[in-house]
Structure formats: C-alpha cells, structure tokens
Amino acid sequence: MDTKVKKAIYAGVNSYAGYEGLDATDLLSQLEQVFDSEAPFMDKVEQLDQVFDDHMRFDELREVSFDLLMINFFAEDVQKLEEDYLDSEEWESIEEQTLDRGTELLNIFLYLRECADEDVAPSLDDYLKEFLLVEEDEFQDEYSIYERVIANQILVESDYSEIAKVAKTIGEGEELYELFYPVVSFFYEQDPDDRQLEEYVSQAANKAFETSIYKLIVHFNK
C-alpha cells in the first residue's frame, strides 16, 4: 500500500469515525487487505464495495476510497505490470467500467503526486491552469466542473468562514457539492494546526464528511 495513500485513508476514516461515534478498526483492517491484495484491479473494486456494503455507516467514504484505490494502483500495482499497461485494451476497458466511480478528488491526488515528484508547492492557480488546463478550449468539461472555484479563487486569501459561506451556495446537483469547502480550504491552508482545524470544523455543513475529506487531502500531501 502506497505510503501517502495509507496516511490519507487512516486520517480520513478515523476522523469520520470520531465525528460519527463509530469504531473504524475493522473497516481499516479490511481496506488495507484490499489495497494490498495482488488481485486484478476490478476484483479489488468489487472487494472494496463489499467492505463498504458490510460497513454501511461509512458509506459516505466509498467513492473517495475508490479514488485512493485508483491512486494506489498507479503508485504500486502498475509497477508490477507491463510497461505499456495503461495503453492496453484491458486498461481501456477498466476505464470504461469505472466512468461513474469516484470523485473529483482523484484529480487532486494526481496533482499532489505530480507536485511531490517535481518538488513544487501546490497552489489553486497552478492546479486549475497548469494541471486541469481549464483555460484551454478542449478542456471545457473541467472548466464547467470547476466554474464556481474559478470564480472564487480569491477565497484562498480569505478564511474558513468565507470559504464555507460560498460552499453553502452550491447545490446538491453540482459536481463539487460537499467537496468545495474541503478542497478550497486545502489550498487556503495546507497544513492546519489544531486551532485552525477547530475553526474549519466549526464552519462545516457536514462536519464528519467534510472534515474527513480535508484530512484526507492534507495527509496525502504530507
């Protein structure tokens, strides 16, 4: 299991469990077994779903965990496969089968991995313009998804309360619903101390989920 992925999933799941009054021991043990499994990727996806089917009180974290399973595959499993595996028909089939899985956090994790590899500090402007290429005509899907973030980039120079205020205007049907607050908060403060985390939590609409996501991103970036 990739070190960054392990730190992230333990931080996120334990945070969620703490706010929901749950015991995450069994869930984390089973998730670690799935991530460490030598099984083909789609078998691991099936195993991941079974773990969450057996622990439905953690179901809010299912798709985010899929994102981390994908990142773990890129970081660990791909190294054991043929060099051109990601160009193969098999991988193309996997991409098609998982089109409706995961969240926008997958892009965040990919971006943070790239930053770590290139030893550059993450920034919202760089993420939007250089990684997602939202200003390029052929990437208008990304522009549409991140339109509210693009329009509110100034929030990374404000505070949690201002970020939360805008987050609460985003409807359930929008792509970044419930992700806007933790994602923009990360680019505002990438290594929050206890006082800052307390302030973040006080402004969260869904404290368990949004705090879990923030901690996932923060710990993945460490």
Rounded CA-CA distance 64/41 in Å is 16
In the chain, what is the greatest distance between 2 CA atoms, to the nearest angstrom? 49
pTM equals: 0.94
Lowest mean pLDDT among 5-14, 28-37, 58-67, 132-141: 132-141
* All structural domains of the chain with their residue ranges: 1-102, 103-222
Q: How confident is the model at residue 87 (pLDDT cuts 50, 70, 90)?
A: confident
User: Distance between CA 212 and CA 116 in Å, rounded?
Assistant: 22
